Amino acid sequence: MRLRYPAPPLSIPLEQISKLVASTLKKKHWHHFKSGTTKLVYIPVWLFNYTAFFEKDGVVVTENSGRVAIDAVKGEIYQQIPYVLEELPLDLSKETKHEYKMDVLSPVLSKDEAKDLLTLKLSALLKIPKQNIRITGGEVILWPVWRVWVEVREGSFRIDIDGVSGMVFGAEKVPERELGWYEITQEVLNELKTPSGWVKYINALADALHIPRPLLWIAIIALLVYIILSFFE
C-alpha cells in the first residue's frame, strides 16, 4: 500500500501479538481472558529536534538535546520512537510490505500547533521554563501500532503494541487479579526454593511482628544451631 508519509517497516507480525498480550496479562495474574478486536493502526507523528537549556542563578550551566516525537492526533509524546529510530537500522518508506488490513490516521495538529504543545510538555517534563526549550526541524512519519482489546472480569481494556519494537503500552490500566489461596501458597513455596525467597519472607515476618530484622535472624540462626546440635546428641 502506498502511504502519504514514510513509515518504518512492520517488525511485529500478527502471529506474535497474542503471545505478547498473554505474557503481559500473566504478569497481572490473568491466565484466562478474552481477546477482542485486533487492529493495525498507522499513527501520524511529528518528529522534531529539541535543545533544552538548564540554568542556575540565571546562567546556563548545561544543555540537553535530542529528538522527540509527538502524536499528530492527540498530542501525546512517544518517548520510545526516537530511541527505536536511533538504535535500530530502519529504512523509512512510503510503501508497506505486508498485506494486513490497516487504518491510516491523518494528522490533526499542524506543525506550529505541535511545536507549541511540545514546548509546553517538555517544559513540564524537564521542569524548566518554556523559553529555555528550542524546537527545530519537523517532519511527519507514520508509526505502526497494534491495538488489541482484551476482556477480563473487571471489564474491557485496550492494549497497544509498538509494531516496530514490540513494546507494550496501556497494560497499567488493566487491574491486577487477586490470587486465590492455592496460587498464593504455590507462589510462596516456589519462592522459598531460593535463598532470596527465605530472606524476603523472614524480613517480611520481622516487619509484621515489629521485630528488628537482625534480632529475628539471630533467633532463627540460634534455633537452627540448637536443632542441629540436638540431632547429634
Nearest to 74 by CA among 123, 124, 29, 121: 121
Query: Can you give the pLDDT at residue 116?
Result: 96
> pLDDT tens-digit profile of 55-103?
888 888 899 999 999 999 999 999 899 999 988 878 999 999 999 999 9
Nearest to 109 by CA among 67, 145, 75: 75
β partners of residue 160? 147, 169
Contact 159, 170 (CB under 8 A): yes
Q: Considering only residues 95 and 211, tell me which one the structure prediction assigns the higher pLDDT.
A: 95
Query: Can you give the pLDDT at residue 45?
Result: 97
Contact 53, 20 (CB under 8 A): no
> pLDDT tens-digit profile of 117-154?
999 999 999 999 999 999 999 999 999 999 999 988 87
Q: How far apart are CA 169 and CA 160, in angstroms?
A: 5
User: Using 50, 70 and 90 to split pLDDT, how confident is the model at 231?
Assistant: low
Q: Considering only residues 225 and 172, tell me which one the structure prediction assigns the higher pLDDT.
A: 172
Q: Is the pLDDT of residue 40 over 50?
A: yes
Q: How far apart are CA 173 and CA 12, in angstroms?
A: 23
> pLDDT tens-digit profile of 144-194?
999 999 988 878 899 999 999 999 998 888 877 655 443 445 554 566 567
Q: Is the pLDDT of residue 225 over 90?
A: no
Length of the chain: 233
